[in-house]
Structure 1
């Protein structure tokens, strides 16, 4: 089976969930003797790298502006893919749904991973929100198979648009890291810090996490991994909060081995997302056996399933009070980390995810 993966920033993974999916899924499909190509944005590509973990890399440019970067790169990718001999396309992001007819014109079936409800992100203007709602409509109309990554998203598309979907989550069973230098580079000790990982976007609440942590007693660092290319005001608020508390460590984006060192070395993990379905970083923290503190909402609750600690920002139990209790008596929370790891190995294994995607893609090829 010759598979093209379009609509992500590409591989090696260096940004968010779709890129993690492209790499982890693509590598496993390649191991199963499928030919996998991932379309990668030129400004994020590794110079001279044509194959990564068995995945072929096709590099194309993108117009680097918040409102058009994704669509411009995917449009070029669709035109390029339509001239190649692929059997099926995995297209990521409902924002790319208007481009599906380009692929259909060349007889290419499309499995569309819609992601979360993007129009709910506060970074978008009313016009942007209207565009994303229009894309949802086109997604259910054009996609040969619609794919969601959480039960809550599957219910949304059924209720809002009357279209069922295949539900396949992300995996979270990462390999433990080797002995590296990442912790030392940031002055950290194994088991001696709290970890937060996310793009710095309003719905991920990095500023509120930093501000909340300033009220947590003790000397334990809060390590915040992430950033944002198109949110300078929010990034500045996070930096301002960190400047007032020397315990807050801003690392910028960290990937690969360095990311796994930070993840497996943390005492606990904070998930503060409001929008989306299954968040890869949350599942990975659970798979690493970390104690997880999560913003209490339906998508996060679905993933954690009772083996984490919920919090709110505006009422009790707050993130501040939850983390203060944890740092005062971490041993009382230890069984949650073990239970989280068990949940991931029961429900969120990458090999199982790859098998489900393989089945969905092969069904499209046969159809």
Structure 2
């Protein structure tokens, strides 16, 4: 809604397409949109319009953003492409109907490459700009078949070619865009993903926390932790295999949405079911409880190697003192010297776990202070919201 007395010409309208929607979805893009609208909800010069994937069609307001549901039929893997195209058609129609001047349409992820030139042309005719967030290397994810991977790569290429600005949440992704698609002379900028810098609201003796620990057979500082999607490129096999090789007396708790097929594959390859320290503990959707579980972990494993600035890594750096990260550019860029690093060579992580188990309290506290400071300085949601405020409000049309 337009604020009373607000000069409409001074309002920058921003249409966001590509997340599953807000509120109540907690993937990376969903959290990003939730936080961006939350931190800008009292900013009279920015007005957000957010596409939400739904089974029906309705509009509602959340964090002062106009949210619109896009009805998506059950058509398998093509759903994501259908959703983005339908949402963009809605945006175009809305911009025309409301005669919105200089709109920005911001697409999250590179799923609709074959349609990018068309939508850029239409948005330009309406006096607007098309921005893209290229996400990570979707075409490298193991879950996709070869033809689907090929589509994602072509889609990424076409969207890089047909947009006005790529907003990369990782410097490594920004470099990749220029290295791979330099012939298009893409215009890019870097604004990271964000994280909370506060501690959990739950007390140490909160009954919810105590019950969860009792149910899972865990206790504070008695476990290493991982939180993330249950997919091969997050290197669950390496982490489990190496933990089993280690001499650690602690547990390894895995908070993830287990897929039976992948779980059976892992069981067959590692026989983790024969090691009582390996504990798949299900998912935790209570954000305060999850934050507290992170804070109380002895150490955190991060095995992600596909993608930009990873949300679960930022949350770990903000919450857990001791972080053991896969040594790839994305992770080094984020954590710098505030973490320990491992590679996929046999025995490397197992040796690091044994080393971590024998660290003294002072060493661990120092790493924790460094990692928290890293998040505060470069990745706090307030900092990210301020960066977007500058970018969106002062763009030259």
Length-normalised TM-score, structure 1: 0.88
1:169 lines up with 2:192 in the alignment: yes
- Alpha-carbon distance, 1:123 to partner: 2.1
- Given that residues 285 and 292 in structure 1 are in contact (C-alpha distance below 8 angstroms), is that contact kept between their aligned partners in structure 2? yes
Pick the structure with greater CA Rg.
2
Match of 1:124 in 2: 144
Change over 3 Å in CA distance of 1:122–1:193 after alignment to 2:
same
Match of 1:278 in 2: 309
Alpha-carbon distance in 2 for matches of 1:182, 1:48: 37
- Alpha-carbon distance, 1:146 to partner: 0.9
- Alpha-carbon distance, 1:276 to partner: 1.2
Instruction: Specify the SS of the correspondent of 1:37.
Output: strand
Which of 243, 246, 263 in structure 2 is aligned with 1:213?
Answer: 243
1:42 lines up with 2:58 in the alignment: no
Deviation per residue, 1:181-238 (Å, 9 max, x gap): 146324333333211111111111123322322233344222212226xx65224335
Q: How many residues align?
A: 361
Alpha-carbon distance in 1 for matches of 2:386, 2:313: 21
- Given that residues 104 and 129 in structure 2 are in contact (C-alpha distance below 8 angstroms), is that contact kept between their aligned partners in structure 1? yes
Match of 1:361 in 2: 392
- Alpha-carbon distance, 1:239 to partner: 6.4
Match of 1:77 in 2: 87
Alpha-carbon distance in 1 for matches of 2:341, 2:59: 42
Change over 3 Å in CA distance of 1:97–1:105 after alignment to 2:
same
Length-normalised TM-score, structure 2: 0.82
Alpha-carbon distance in 2 for matches of 1:109, 1:56: 19
- Given that residues 172 and 348 in structure 1 are in contact (C-alpha distance below 8 angstroms), is that contact kept between their aligned partners in structure 2? yes
1:102 lines up with 2:132 in the alignment: no
- Given that residues 78 and 99 in structure 1 are in contact (C-alpha distance below 8 angstroms), is that contact kept between their aligned partners in structure 2? no
1:23 lines up with 2:34 in the alignment: yes
Which structure has more RCO (C-alpha within 8 Å, separation ≥ 6)? 1
Q: Which moved more, 1:113-122 or 1:2-11?
A: 2-11
- Alpha-carbon distance, 1:257 to partner: 2.4
Match of 1:139 in 2: 159
How large is the RMSD of aligned CA atoms in angstroms? 2.7
1:153 lines up with 2:173 in the alignment: yes
Which of 254, 258, 267 in structure 1 is aligned with 2:284?
Answer: 254
Alpha-carbon distance in 1 for matches of 2:293, 2:335: 20
Which of 374, 380, 396 in structure 2 is aligned with 1:349?
Answer: 380
- Given that residues 120 and 163 in structure 2 are in contact (C-alpha distance below 8 angstroms), is that contact kept between their aligned partners in structure 1? no
Match of 1:91 in 2: 107
Question: Where do 5+ consecutive residues of structure 2 fail to align?
Answer: 1-11
